């Protein structure tokens, strides 16, 4: 999957400079006109109305400013400095200069506010603002922690992906094209076409800000193509990251088939809470049967009740009884181009905290599709395993096999064993047993033994009585992470 990132400089604390060069302009502004323009700027900032500030700017400068970021900046200025009180005429300078054929008015000075002063520099062309720089020690240097209104970046990210996937690279901002490079864009477009066919839908999904590496806004999207698998259109999740320089955000990285972890918005979290509470109740009461019934059917089929019960007993032995739920953290997990919801329940026990992690498919909040208990919390759990069920399963397998019910016996075998010992092979083994021992008369299970080697196994010994005499045998179960599955057997031939 394509991963590409180009980091932009982080937004400066409050010393922010914008500039544009406008060919063919001239100005006859007087110092007094300059002073009035600067005064209008801070009056507009104090109003909290972004449009009043934007109206003072040259169109080229406005192109470099995102209105939501301007609103955040104005809000911070007003919160830190208070009401604007006017210019300090004793500390004010203005001059004209010609640069690249353009006559510009430059002005700088100190501006007074209720809570302190700010130093500012301005450049005007034809009474329009083309550059400004404002600084004050009253404003925190790390004030910016992401846009308060990030909707436009989700929209811009979707537009970027649409132009990318349709090969319309000329519609992507030139600065972004230069940052990524045309070969990277071409490879990404070809990759998505190979996987999904023609892209039909790009739907916004999660969005998250991170302060790391100077700040980054990550936007995730569900991308659907026209290629079908089993009658269903293929899709994956893509991600576009935005970095911020000045008062503008630009794409700095993107991924096809995003792998990411994003905090689940509170408005989406509620639908998972009923199932979390049900799991927590089973956890609190150490009710393994109830715990298992809360799982999605395919997961339920892969889970032994005895294993779940031993886990719960192991946690209680290592950490004491459940006391309270300390916290719940929910995330959207993007992995291999797919999405799941992860809830981590931090449970307070008598002797420490235990994290129980649950997984949900987004469209099935009523079922748990995966769960994880850190292995350090389960120390010694095999010693607490109730083994009678494995004795019964082992005996049932031998009864069907020795009775010649070979197809039925394979249904009790694990997948790996079933692949290694098809019916034809079982038939040959059955024939050998019949020739050596005759018909089986009784099968008695002994006490299973847990063997912890390269793999964790449970071996059930058997006493068998055949027509030609008694012998022994065993059935082995191998641990698969949630269950013990039947993985082998033997019957000892009489000498």
Give per-residue pLDDT as tens, 330-380: 988 887 777 888 999 999 999 999 999 999 886 666 778 888 998 889 999
- pLDDT value at residue 93: 80
Beta bridge partners of 15: 134
Whether 67 shows a pLDDT value over 80: the answer reads yes
Distance CA(301)–CA(369), nearest Å, equals: 11
- pLDDT value at residue 10: 38
Model confidence over 224-234: pLDDT tens digits? Answer: 999 877 777 78
Whether 420 shows a pLDDT value over 90: the answer reads yes
- pLDDT value at residue 4: 58
Whether 415 shows a pLDDT value over 60: the answer reads yes
- pLDDT value at residue 247: 93
Whether 298 shows a pLDDT value over 90: the answer reads no
Count CB-CB contacts under 10 A for residue 422.
11
Distance CA(58)–CA(360), nearest Å, equals: 51
- pLDDT value at residue 168: 95
Whether 122 shows a pLDDT value over 50: the answer reads yes
Whether 25 shows a pLDDT value over 80: the answer reads no
Whether 487 shows a pLDDT value over 60: the answer reads yes
Selected residue with higher pLDDT from 1 and 58: 58
Distance CA(352)–CA(284), nearest Å, equals: 15
Model confidence over 427-443: pLDDT tens digits? Answer: 999 999 999 999 999 99
| pLDDT tier for residue 104 given thresholds of 50, 70 and 90 | confident
- pLDDT value at residue 31: 52
Share of the chain above pLDDT 90, in %: 60
Share of the chain above pLDDT 70, in %: 91
Round the average pLDDT of the chain to a whole number and report it.
87
């Amino acid at each position: 999957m394509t991963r590409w990132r180009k980091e932009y400089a982080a937004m400066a604390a409050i010393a922010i400079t914008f500039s544009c060069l406008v060919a063919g302009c001239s100005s006859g502004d007087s110092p007094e006109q300059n002073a009035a323009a600067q005064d209008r700027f801070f009056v507009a900032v104090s109003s909290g109305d972004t449009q009043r500030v934007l109206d003072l700017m040259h169109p080229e400068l406005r192109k470099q400013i995102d209105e939501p970021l301007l609103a955040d900046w104005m809000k911070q200025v007003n919160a830190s400095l208070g009401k604007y009180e006017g210019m300090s005429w004793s500390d004010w300078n203005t001059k004209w200069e010609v640069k690249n054929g353009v006559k510009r008015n430059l002005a700088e000075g100190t501006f007074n506010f209720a809570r302190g002063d700010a130093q500012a520099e301005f450049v005007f062309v034809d009474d329009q603002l083309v550059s400004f720089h404002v600084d004050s020690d009253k404003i925190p240097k790390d004030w910016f922690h992401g846009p308060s209104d990030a909707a436009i970046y989700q929209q811009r990210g979707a537009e970027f992906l649409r132009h990318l996937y349709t090969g319309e690279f000329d519609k992507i901002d030139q600065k972004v094209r230069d940052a990524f490079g045309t070969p990277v864009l071409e490879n990404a477009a070809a990759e998505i076409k190979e996987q999904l066919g023609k892209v039909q839908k790009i739907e916004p999904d999660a969005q998250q800000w991170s302060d790391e590496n100077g700040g980054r806004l990550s936007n995730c999207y569900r991308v659907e193509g026209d290629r079908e698998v089993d009658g269903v259109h293929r899709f994956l999740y893509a991600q576009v990251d935005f970095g911020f320089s000045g008062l503008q955000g630009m794409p700095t990285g993107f991924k096809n088939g995003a792998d990411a972890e994003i905090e689940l918005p509170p408005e989406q979290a509620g639908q998972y809470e009923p199932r979390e509470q049900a799991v927590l109740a089973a956890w609190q009461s150490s009710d393994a049967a109830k715990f298992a019934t809360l799982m999605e059917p395919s997961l339920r089929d892969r889970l032994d009740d005895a294993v779940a019960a031993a886990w719960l007993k192991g946690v209680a032995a290592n950490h004491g009884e459940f006391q309270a739920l300390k916290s719940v953290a929910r995330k959207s997990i993007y992995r291999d181009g797919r999405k799941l919801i992860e809830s981590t329940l931090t449970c307070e026990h008598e002797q420490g905290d235990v994290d129980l992690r649950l997984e949900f498919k987004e469209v099935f909040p009523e079922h748990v599709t995966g769960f994880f208990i850190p292995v350090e919390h389960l120390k010694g759990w095999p010693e607490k395993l109730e083994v009678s069920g494995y004795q019964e399963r082992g005996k049932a397998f031998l009864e069907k096999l020795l009775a010649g019910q070979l197809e039925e016996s394979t249904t009790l075998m694990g997948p790996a064993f079933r692949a290694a010992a098809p019916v034809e092979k079982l038939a040959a083994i059955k024939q050998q047993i019949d020739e050596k021992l005759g018909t089986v008369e009784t099968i008695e299970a002994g006490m299973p033994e847990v063997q912890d080697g390269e793999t964790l196994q449970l071996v059930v010994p058997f006493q068998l009585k055949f027509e030609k005499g008694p012998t022994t045998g065993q059935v082995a179960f191998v641990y698969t992470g949630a269950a013990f599955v039947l993985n082998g057997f033997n019957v000892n031939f009489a000498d």
